[in-house]
Amino acid sequence: MTTSTAPLPIQACSPAEAAREVAREIAVLIRERRAAGRMAVLCLPTGRTPLGVYDELVRMQRDEALDFANVTTFNLDEFLGLPPEHPQSFRRYMRERFFARIGLEPTHTWIPSGDVAPAQIAAHCAEYEREIADAGGLDYALLGIGRNGHIGFNEPGSARDSRTREVRLHEVTRADAARAFGGLEFVPERAITMGVATILGARRVRVLAFGADKREILRRTSEDTPGPQVPATFLRGHPDVRLLADGAALGR
């Protein structure tokens, strides 16, 4: 795969349609893998954007007997300095919004640790990469996109070949998180994120973006020369990527 100026394939749809489409693709993957006696390996995001997908997958478990027993998940990122029970930790978000609702085994859910000792962070990140590789790689990466063009916490300046690592959060990312944390001063300054290359290693990548707040960054993601200034531009050229975005985000 090369860094490419190829256009980003776009599907215009409502948030509800996007949630159904992505959940349907994930369900097909899970069932295909189970028929083959294999795990389905998902890369999952937090934030507001994926909530409809999680709700739809919960519904499919209830109404359509979708079985998650053969699913392994790897989350994109986690704030550093937060214990797992912190209300804003992504570990807690995932448990409350998705994992506990579908009864997913904690041993099947990987999230970078927010309270790893500073001296252990590099080893923890290397271990995360090893676990993804040992799982056979990511089958399906679901992503949101930050107003600054981040994917995961790959902030502006992140390299195409970056791997799971500690990062300093960008001011836009921290400002966007400030309300949830009850003030900018409470937002962590550092995080662990899967790298750009880790994400691009997924066999399929789906990006969700809804609302006028995402319009300018989607324009740049589609039009800018791919590079670290807008990490989402690196998605262009992935062999199986699609952006699902609503009219407000697409400016239509």
- Residue ranges that bind ligand PGA, judged by CB under 6 A: 47-49, 144-146
Catalytic, out of 77, 78, 139, 246: 77
CB 214 to ligand PGA: min, Å: 7
H/E/C letters for each residue in 21-71? HHHHHHHHHHHHHHHCCCCEEEEECCCCCCHHHHHHHHHHHHHHCCCCCCE
Q: Apex CA 11: angle with CA 6 and CA 16, to 5°?
A: 150
Q: Which is nearer to ligand PGA, 39 or 172 (CB)?
A: 172
CB 152 to ligand PGA: min, Å: 7
Distance, C-alpha 141 to centroid of its chain? 7
CB 146 to ligand PGA: min, Å: 4
Q: Which is nearer to ligand PGA, 30 or 44 (CB)?
A: 44
Q: Which is nearer to ligand PGA, 71 or 249 (CB)?
A: 249
Structure-token pair, residue 201: 């290693």
Catalytic, out of 21, 78, 139, 150: 150
Structure-token pair, residue 120: 């252990």
Q: Which is nearer to ligand PGA, 226 or 231 (CB)?
A: 231
CB 4 to ligand PGA: min, Å: 22
Q: Is 148 among the residues known to form the active site?
A: yes
CB 150 to ligand PGA: min, Å: 6
Q: Which residues contact 215 (CB under 8 A, 6 or more apart)?
A: 248, 249, 250, 251
Catalytic, out of 56, 78, 148, 238: 148
In the chain, which ranges are E strands?
10-12, 40-44, 71-75, 77-79, 109-110, 140-143, 165-168, 190-193, 204-209, 241-245
- Residue 77 half-sphere exposure toward CB, CA atoms < 13 A: 32
Q: Are 146 and 176 in contact (CB under 8 A)?
A: yes
Q: Which is nearer to ligand PGA, 128 or 210 (CB)?
A: 210
Catalytic, out of 155, 170, 238, 246: 155
* Number of residue whose CB is nearest ligand PGA: 47
Q: Which is nearer to ligand PGA, 48 or 130 (CB)?
A: 48
DSSP at 207: E
Q: Is 139 among the residues known to form the active site?
A: no
CB 213 to ligand PGA: min, Å: 7
Q: Is 155 among the residues known to form the active site?
A: yes
Q: Are 227 and 112 in contact (CB under 8 A)?
A: no
Residues taking part in catalysis: 77, 148, 150, 155
